[in-house]
Amino acid sequence: MNIEGIIFDSDGTLVDSETLSARAIGEILADAGVRVSPDEILERFRGCRFALFAQALLHDYPIASIEDFTHTFRVRSAVLFSTELQPMNGAVELVSAITIEKCVASNGPRDKLEKCLGVTGLLPHFTGRVVSAYEVGSWKPEPGLIRHAVALMGLAPERCVLVEDSLAGAQAGIAAGVFVVGYRLSAHAQAALNHSVPVIQELSELRNFAPIG
């Protein structure tokens, strides 16, 4: 492979935000007298467009309107991100070493992306290279977000690696024609894909698939 660019997911790939998001969701549910395990929340939440996740969750547990639930989640999670968010193991070191094109493509809104990347010291490495599904109008597993990231870097899809921790993200990358590397991708997610992708457990292993440093 002649790889010239790397696309990173943010939540659960570069920053350890998914566990904090799941905690915030669990606290909102608990305040309403509903107990849902963190594992169940993560399974439902990971890689999903938030509006669809909220719609399904509130169908099962009708504790609030989608608008009120979303607002409360954004406020609570922002506090957790500001005070407790950490980069994924090895993320800062890896990103700092990359000399080829790189960008972040996420289903999250831009303000959340920039906050999370900023708090963890990653944002300066992606100046002008952060793509939000809310701005593109395409959410994983649709391929539009990844195609936009590829175009932003000025590369052909087959020259790009996408690093993803979710089924929806991996599906988006496959549909967009990029080479997908699963980061701690679950066995369930791997089985649901229409073809296999290599899976890494540490970000440093990405060196086996792309020229880094």
| Cβ contact 9:130 at 8 Å | no
What percentage of the chain's residues is helix, strand, coil (to nearest 5)? 55, 15, 35
9 is an active site residue = yes
Of these residues, 9, 11, 16, 165, which one is catalytic? 9
| Cβ contact 92:122 at 8 Å | yes
Rounded to 5°, angle at Cα 6 from 213 and 137 = 155
Tokens for 116, please give them: 């999370």
Alpha carbon distance 173, 81 (integer Å): 27
The DSSP secondary-structure symbol of 135 reads H
CA dihedral 150, 154, 157, 162 (to 10 degrees): -40
Return the active site residues.
9
